[in-house]
Every structure is written in C-alpha cells, then in structure tokens.
Amino acid sequence: MKTTVWIISAALLAIGCSSESSMIPDASIEGLTLGPVRAGTSQNVLTTVDLMVDLIHPSTPDLALRLGYDQDNDGRIDARAEVEFFRARRGGWMGTVAHACTPALDGAFYFRAEEPGGDPLDVFRGLKAGGSFYLEVADTLAEDVGIVREWSVRAESARAGSESDPLIVAGR
Ligand SMILES: [Ca+2]
Ligand SMILES: [Ca+2]
C-alpha cells in the first residue's frame, strides 16, 4: 500500500494524490483499513486535523467511516473520530456545508472543524504529533459496493510559545 507524506509550509495547501483506488469489502464488519499516514516527526501536539475522502458508493447507509490516530505508533489506535457525511464540505476545504445526508456518495468530501468543540475531529486536538492516521471503512449491508479513490489528512501542530508548525499528510 502506497503512502505519501508531505511536510510543507503554511502557505501551501496542496494535497497529494494517489493513482490506485481501494474497493470496500461488501457486507463486512471488519471492512478496510487504509494507511498509515504519518503525521510528521514533530514532538509538538496536534491542534487541528482536517480530513478529505474521495469515494463513490451508491448507498450511504451501508457505510461507516472512522479516522483513527495511533499517536505512539504502537499499532493500537488511541483516538477515533466518526466521519459524518452531513458535516462535509463540497468543492474544497472552504466549500459550503450542505448539512444534509445524501443517499449516495460520489466525489470528494471535506471535513474541517471550524472552531474548537463540537466536531468529531476535535478528538485529536492535543495529542502528540508524529503518530499515524488510519481510515477505517466498513460496508455492513449487502449488494451495493463502493470504492475509496483517495483520502488525505491535513494537520497542524504547535508547541507552547512557538509559531504553529503546519503540516499536511496525505495517503490512500
Ligand atoms: Ca497507540
Ligand atoms: Ca454494501
């Protein structure tokens, strides 16, 4: 499985892309785990974590997606956030939130916490940077199948008394 990591300056918000897609196993509780995507090598703590998932699936109710983070890289996930599609932005990180569930999914969905508190992605705030993100995808209902085309994580980390140290990590 190919994984790419970028650590870039704050001014750049380019996201890496991958050439392969991952079929989501149908009617499987175990599902598919994508990653790891390394969140830099910093000893700082994570401040914001944003997620992009590009996928196609004809039946949204089949799917359960979670973003997991293993902050000490010991193979055990330390924090998980449910990916709730009604919170997704379309058309980019600054796109509009529809606040509605869609019966089918097609394209890129962007998840970013606007402010601290109240968003599932806030669960990563304050965890040690340098860990690994995983995207857990389960399709528990038979018949309809889908594909994750690409996903990426955009994270910022900071240290008390210093400038923010933004980083972008991306993977599939
Ligand atoms: Ca761990
Ligand atoms: Ca299915």
CA of 3 to the centre of ligand 2 (A): 26
pTM (2 d.p.): 0.82
Tokens 């401040």, residue located: 47
Residue 32 pLDDT: 94
What topology does CATH give the domain 3-171?
A: Jelly Rolls (2.60.120)
pLDDT digits (tens, 9 = 90+) for 144-168: 999 999 999 988 888 744 555 555 5
Relative to the alpha carbon of 127, which ligand is closest?
Answer: 1
Residue 162 pLDDT: 56
CA of 61 to the centre of ligand 2 (A): 9
Residues 6+ positions from 143 with CB-CB distance below 8 Å: 26, 59
Relative to the alpha carbon of 104, which ligand is closest?
Answer: 2
Per residue of the chain (172 residues), what is the pLDDT tens digit?
A: 333 333 332 222 233 344 468 999 999 999 999 988 888 666 788 888 999 999 999 999 999 999 999 999 999 999 999 999 999 999 998 898 888 888 999 999 999 877 777 899 999 998 998 899 999 999 999 999 999 999 999 888 887 445 555 555 555 4
CA of 24 to the centre of ligand 2 (A): 8
CA-based nearest residue to 154, from 133, 138, 136: 133
From residue 30, alpha-carbon distances to 6, 33, 60, 139, 161 in Å are: 29, 9, 17, 9, 43
CA of 142 to the centre of ligand 2 (A): 4
Domain ranges of the chain: 3-171
CA of 168 to the centre of ligand 1 (A): 21
Relative to the alpha carbon of 29, which ligand is closest?
Answer: 2
pLDDT digits (tens, 9 = 90+) for 123-148: 999 899 889 999 999 999 999 999 99
